[in-house]
Protein backbone atom coordinates (compact mmCIF):
# COMPACT_ATOMS: atom_id res chain seq x y z
CA UNK A 1 0.00 0.00 0.00
CA UNK A 2 1.40 3.35 -0.98
CA UNK A 3 0.08 6.80 -0.27
CA UNK A 4 -0.27 9.02 -3.28
CA UNK A 5 0.20 12.75 -3.41
CA UNK A 6 -2.76 13.38 -5.68
CA UNK A 7 -4.48 16.73 -5.54
CA UNK A 8 -7.83 16.78 -3.73
CA UNK A 9 -9.62 17.02 -7.08
CA UNK A 10 -7.70 14.05 -8.52
CA UNK A 11 -8.31 11.97 -5.39
CA UNK A 12 -12.06 12.68 -5.49
CA UNK A 13 -12.15 11.78 -9.21
CA UNK A 14 -10.30 8.51 -8.55
CA UNK A 15 -12.76 7.47 -5.83
CA UNK A 16 -15.73 8.66 -7.93
CA UNK A 17 -14.61 6.44 -10.83
CA UNK A 18 -14.02 3.42 -8.59
CA UNK A 19 -17.39 3.52 -6.77
CA UNK A 20 -19.54 4.68 -9.70
CA UNK A 21 -22.40 2.27 -10.28
CA UNK A 22 -22.02 0.40 -6.98
CA UNK A 23 -25.38 0.88 -5.26
CA UNK A 24 -24.76 -0.81 -1.93
CA UNK A 25 -21.90 -0.30 0.49
CA UNK A 26 -20.98 -1.85 3.82
CA UNK A 27 -21.35 0.96 6.35
CA UNK A 28 -19.34 0.49 9.57
CA UNK A 29 -19.91 2.38 12.83
CA UNK A 30 -18.46 2.04 16.31
CA UNK A 31 -20.76 0.62 18.97
CA UNK A 32 -19.99 0.11 22.69
CA UNK A 33 -19.30 -3.56 21.83
CA UNK A 34 -17.02 -2.76 18.86
CA UNK A 35 -17.34 -2.33 15.11
CA UNK A 36 -20.71 -2.93 13.42
CA UNK A 37 -21.19 -3.20 9.65
CA UNK A 38 -24.39 -3.29 7.67
CA UNK A 39 -25.30 -2.89 3.98
CA UNK A 40 -26.72 0.49 3.02
CA UNK A 41 -27.75 2.02 -0.28
CA UNK A 42 -25.63 4.99 -1.31
CA UNK A 43 -27.64 7.91 -2.66
CA UNK A 44 -27.37 8.47 -6.37
CA UNK A 45 -25.37 11.66 -6.30
CA UNK A 46 -21.98 12.20 -7.90
CA UNK A 47 -19.25 11.72 -5.30
CA UNK A 48 -17.68 15.08 -4.39
CA UNK A 49 -15.94 13.99 -1.18
CA UNK A 50 -19.21 13.25 0.63
CA UNK A 51 -21.39 10.14 0.67
CA UNK A 52 -25.10 10.24 1.53
CA UNK A 53 -27.36 7.60 3.10
CA UNK A 54 -31.02 7.60 4.21
CA UNK A 55 -32.13 5.89 7.42
CA UNK A 56 -34.27 6.35 10.52
CA UNK A 57 -33.46 7.76 13.94
CA UNK A 58 -34.68 4.62 15.69
CA UNK A 59 -31.70 2.56 14.51
CA UNK A 60 -28.51 1.63 16.29
CA UNK A 61 -26.39 3.43 13.67
CA UNK A 62 -28.06 6.73 14.57
CA UNK A 63 -27.02 6.38 18.24
CA UNK A 64 -23.57 5.08 17.27
CA UNK A 65 -22.90 8.11 15.05
CA UNK A 66 -24.03 10.48 17.79
CA UNK A 67 -21.62 8.76 20.20
CA UNK A 68 -18.68 8.45 17.77
CA UNK A 69 -18.98 9.89 14.24
CA UNK A 70 -15.99 8.00 12.81
CA UNK A 71 -17.17 5.56 10.13
CA UNK A 72 -15.87 3.39 7.34
CA UNK A 73 -17.69 2.67 4.09
CA UNK A 74 -16.63 -0.21 1.83
CA UNK A 75 -17.53 -0.75 -1.81
CA UNK A 76 -16.81 -4.00 -3.65
CA UNK A 77 -17.33 -4.82 -7.30
CA UNK A 78 -14.60 -4.95 -9.93
CA UNK A 79 -12.42 -3.00 -7.50
CA UNK A 80 -12.50 -2.63 -3.73
CA UNK A 81 -12.65 0.75 -2.01
CA UNK A 82 -12.52 1.42 1.74
CA UNK A 83 -13.42 5.02 2.66
CA UNK A 84 -12.68 6.40 6.13
CA UNK A 85 -14.59 9.47 7.19
CA UNK A 86 -16.71 11.38 9.67
CA UNK A 87 -20.49 11.08 9.66
CA UNK A 88 -23.03 13.68 10.62
CA UNK A 89 -26.78 13.51 10.92
CA UNK A 90 -28.64 15.83 8.54
CA UNK A 91 -32.33 16.59 8.94
CA UNK A 92 -33.02 18.56 5.75
CA UNK A 93 -36.50 17.86 4.36
CA UNK A 94 -35.66 19.23 0.89
CA UNK A 95 -32.55 17.02 0.67
CA UNK A 96 -34.52 13.98 1.89
CA UNK A 97 -37.15 14.67 -0.79
CA UNK A 98 -34.39 14.91 -3.41
CA UNK A 99 -33.16 11.39 -2.56
CA UNK A 100 -36.56 9.83 -1.85
CA UNK A 101 -38.12 7.18 -4.09
CA UNK A 102 -40.88 4.57 -3.97
CA UNK A 103 -38.38 1.94 -2.80
CA UNK A 104 -37.70 3.89 0.39
CA UNK A 105 -41.41 4.39 0.95
CA UNK A 106 -41.93 0.61 0.83
CA UNK A 107 -38.79 -0.30 2.79
CA UNK A 108 -39.05 2.35 5.53
CA UNK A 109 -42.88 2.30 5.57
CA UNK A 110 -43.09 6.08 5.82
CA UNK A 111 -42.55 9.25 3.79
CA UNK A 112 -39.57 11.58 3.37
CA UNK A 113 -41.12 14.23 5.62
CA UNK A 114 -41.36 11.86 8.60
CA UNK A 115 -39.22 13.46 11.37
CA UNK A 116 -37.83 9.98 12.12
CA UNK A 117 -36.24 9.83 8.63
CA UNK A 118 -32.73 11.28 8.55
CA UNK A 119 -29.78 11.57 6.23
CA UNK A 120 -26.27 10.50 7.09
CA UNK A 121 -23.60 12.58 5.38
CA UNK A 122 -20.14 11.02 5.42
CA UNK A 123 -17.29 13.41 4.76
CA UNK A 124 -14.50 11.23 3.37
CA UNK A 125 -11.02 11.77 4.82
CA UNK A 126 -9.11 9.03 3.01
CA UNK A 127 -9.67 6.02 0.81
CA UNK A 128 -7.71 2.88 0.18
CA UNK A 129 -8.45 0.98 -2.98
CA UNK A 130 -7.47 -2.22 -4.67
CA UNK A 131 -7.98 -2.23 -8.44
CA UNK A 132 -8.89 -5.47 -10.11
CA UNK A 133 -6.57 -4.85 -13.09
CA UNK A 134 -5.98 -7.37 -15.81
CA UNK A 135 -4.64 -10.86 -15.07
CA UNK A 136 -1.02 -9.98 -15.95
CA UNK A 137 -1.07 -6.89 -13.68
CA UNK A 138 -2.55 -8.87 -10.80
CA UNK A 139 -0.07 -11.72 -11.20
CA UNK A 140 2.90 -9.33 -11.29
CA UNK A 141 1.64 -7.40 -8.26
CA UNK A 142 0.98 -10.57 -6.23
CA UNK A 143 4.36 -12.06 -7.18
CA UNK A 144 6.15 -8.90 -6.03
CA UNK A 145 4.18 -8.86 -2.77
CA UNK A 146 4.87 -12.54 -2.09
CA UNK A 147 8.60 -12.13 -2.78
CA UNK A 148 8.90 -8.89 -0.75
CA UNK A 149 9.72 -6.81 -3.81
CA UNK A 150 8.88 -3.13 -4.12
CA UNK A 151 5.27 -2.54 -5.21
CA UNK A 152 5.42 1.23 -4.68
CA UNK A 153 5.18 1.97 -8.42
CA UNK A 154 2.07 -0.17 -8.85
CA UNK A 155 -1.31 1.52 -8.79
CA UNK A 156 -3.11 -1.72 -7.87
CA UNK A 157 -3.30 -0.72 -4.19
CA UNK A 158 -3.20 2.92 -3.10
CA UNK A 159 -4.21 5.07 -0.17
CA UNK A 160 -5.29 8.61 -0.97
CA UNK A 161 -6.14 11.55 1.23
CA UNK A 162 -9.37 13.28 0.34
- C-alpha to C-alpha distance for 102 and 128, rounded to whole angstroms: 33
Q: What's the pLDDT score for residue 112?
A: 93
Domain extent, residue 115, equals: 2-161
- Tell me 116's DSSP state: T
Q: How far is CA 44 from the centre of its chain?
A: 13
pTM (2 d.p.) = 0.81
CATH code for position 68: 2.30.110.10
Q: Which residues of the chain have pLDDT under 50?
A: 1-3
Say if strands 34-41 and 80-90 run parallel, antiparallel, or are unpaired. unpaired
| CA-only gyration radius of the chain, Å | 18
The domain total for the chain is 1
In this predicted structure, what is the pLDDT of residue 1?
A: 44
Amino acid sequence: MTATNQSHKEAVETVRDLIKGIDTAMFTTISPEGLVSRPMKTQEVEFDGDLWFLTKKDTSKFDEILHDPRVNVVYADKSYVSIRGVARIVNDVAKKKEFWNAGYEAFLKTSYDDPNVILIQVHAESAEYWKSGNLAEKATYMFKRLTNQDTEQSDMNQTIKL
